Amino acid sequence: MVITRYGIVATSHTLASVAGAQILARGGSAVDAAIAANAVLGVTEPMMNGMGGDLFAIYWNAESNKLYGLNASGWAPQGLTPEHIRARDATAMPLIGIDSVTVPGAVAGWNALHERFGHLSWKDLFPPAIFYADQGYPVPEIISGYWKDAAQAFAYDAEGRRVYLPNGKPPVVGEIFRNPDLAKALRLLAQNGARDFYQGEIAKAILSTSQALGGTMSRDDLAQFAPEWVDPISTTYRDWTIYELPPNGQGMAALGMLNIMETTAASPDGPLSVAELHKKIEAMKLAYADLGRYNADPRFAKVPVRGLLSKEYARERAKLIDGNHANCELPAGSPPMSDTTYLSVIDRDGNIVSLIQSNYEAFGSGITVRGMGFVLQDRGALFSLDPSSPNVLAPRKRPFHTIIPAFMERADQHIGFGIMGGANQPLAHAQFVSNVVDYGMNIQAALENARFTVHPERGCNIRIESRVKPEVLQKLSSMGHKFEVTKDYSTAMGRGQAVMNDTKSKVHYGGSDARADGSAEPEPPPVQFQDKR
């Protein structure tokens, strides 16, 4: 772990972590540092996140011991209806293209956080991102791997190929990548504020791009959007309290999975034992079945969150787990009536930001805003066209969202954490919590411990890292689990970050996942150097 009495910024790209630490050293708050780091990530991890994506955040105020939640996921344009989709001869929501785009909420989310918890001026948060967009940066290993699919992502977008495929091909490891169009957009944002994105020059570019492609985005869709402050939802796991954000995100699945896991004691044989892995895999299936059935925008559908998170309901669901056999088909119960970047920041006062931001698929919709150098997300792909689904597409509705920030606390210890990766996130959160609570790992070890995750084919199919012992995998396979064994540290398991505040000792801790190109960077101490020239 990184351990210091000052602030820490943990992100999936070292340049972003350093940029955030520099903001802290200038007297910036945790929110200031998070915005600055997130802006850099939009430059250095353009397939993962950026101004064209959505955002969720949890903020913990150390002085008042109060949590705040922010939902900055965008809504569907007024004209984006099931009838519009079917008129284009589609039977399901498109995964790419302009009809997969909802209003990007990230910039409005930055603005809402800054207005409430920022210390530095808005314009002072963006110089690092502008510098890297303008001057360029060397592409690191893991991001280079994600970039290899850019040609396919931009198959129908000449602007994307121009911006993200210099010399007609993805940049290789160590190659300097520049994005002067994005530098221009960041300057407009820094000078004119978030308003420029939704009503100014950037907004005009978004609307022009949409109209050229036959999209439905209107001026009012952008100008009238606002993020929503929400109360985090929670459950207890053993003697810790775990917090997630309410729907339309999938945080309730992480809490539901923990509730089911809590019905039995942790295996004394460790987190990668047969009994413990079997329990977690089966608990995940139960929680995800409920998630798929009930999750939606609560402004449009009644989501039974309280019932889904009740301990009694968890006990009933846990009865469906067979200790000796895998269950490949688990239905949703009847409760009583997300490619991504995650970062966490703690400032010298102990305030914590747990923030997640995403384009959804790599390079989002595959559409780059003309002249602005950033892609638009494809979050609309997660809507349903089934009129009986609570997640059915509707104007000004927010889709099912995969990205979830998290927070946990017990007595003097307070942890902001998150692990990105689409459907991986709730079960990755649950595994992280169990590593800390059941097995006493520190936050760095809890991030690095071998994980399993969902498989695209679902059912009894599971992806798992090769660090799990062969004899454990063999026994689990005999119980009916079907494994795809990945490399020892696989990006399929998501890329996590975590920070912790100990309010008694006033010491702060940070961890960064080995599955990413990032780091946990400490705030430089306030020292004065003498000029010996």
Examine the domain organization and report whether 288 and 431 are in the same domain: yes
Give catalytic status of residue 236 as yes or no. Answer: no
Taking the CA atoms of residue 520, residue 14, residue 418 and residue 51 in that order, the dihedral angle to the nearest 10 degrees is: 140
- The answer as to whether 398 is a domain residue is no
Angle made by CA atoms 150, 154, 160, in degrees to the nearest 5 = 95
Asked whether residue 69 falls in the same domain as residue 101, the answer is yes
Based on the fold, state whether residues 150 and 258 are members of the same structural domain: no
User: Are residue 466 and residue 322 in the same domain, yes or no?
Assistant: yes
Residue 522 lies in a domain: no
Asked if 509 and 8 count as a contact pair (C-beta separation under 8 A), the reply is yes
Statement to judge: residues 108 and 202 lie in one domain: yes
Among residues 224, 260, 248, 233, the alpha carbon closest in space to that of 427 is found at: 260
**Which residues does the chain have with pLDDT short of 50?**
336-338
Indicate the DSSP class of residue 267: P
Return the pLDDT at 335. Answer: 58
Q: Is the residue at 399 inside a domain? A: no
Annotated catalytic residue within 4, 44, 340, 402: 340
Q: What is the pLDDT of residues 516-532, one digit of tens each?
A: 999 999 999 888 777 76
Clarify whether residues 455 and 327 are in a common domain: yes
Q: Are residues 312 and 365 in the same domain?
A: no
Residue 519 in any domain: the answer is no
Question: Residue type at 269?
Answer: D
268 belongs to a structural domain: yes
DSSP-derived letter for residue 477 is: H
What local confidence, expressed as pLDDT, does residue 337 receive? 44
Residues in Cβ contact with 468 at an 8 Å cutoff, skipping those fewer than 6 apart: 272, 277, 450, 452, 485
Same domain, 352 and 471: no
The pTM for the full model equals 0.94
- The length of the chain in residues reads 533
- The pLDDT score that the predictor gives to residue 533 is 62
Total structural domains within the chain? 2
Same domain as 49, residue 96? yes
Residues 326, 433 share a domain? yes
Question: Is 357 in contact with 106 (CB distance < 8 Å)?
Answer: yes
Residue 349 domain flag: yes
302 burial (CB, 10 Å; 0-12 / 13-18 / 19+) is: exposed
Same domain? For 82 and 223 the reply is yes
CATH code (residue 466): 1.10.246.130
Residue 60: strand pairing partners? 67, 352
Q: What is the pLDDT of residue 317?
A: 92
The pLDDT value recorded for residue 339 is: 63
Residues ≥6 apart with Cβ < 8 Å to 83: none
Residue 515 lies in a domain: no
Residue 364 domain-assigned (yes or no):
yes
| Same domain? 327 vs 357 | no
| pLDDT given at position 338 | 45
Tell me what pLDDT residue 333 has. Answer: 64
Residue 246 belongs to domain spanning: 239-338+423-496
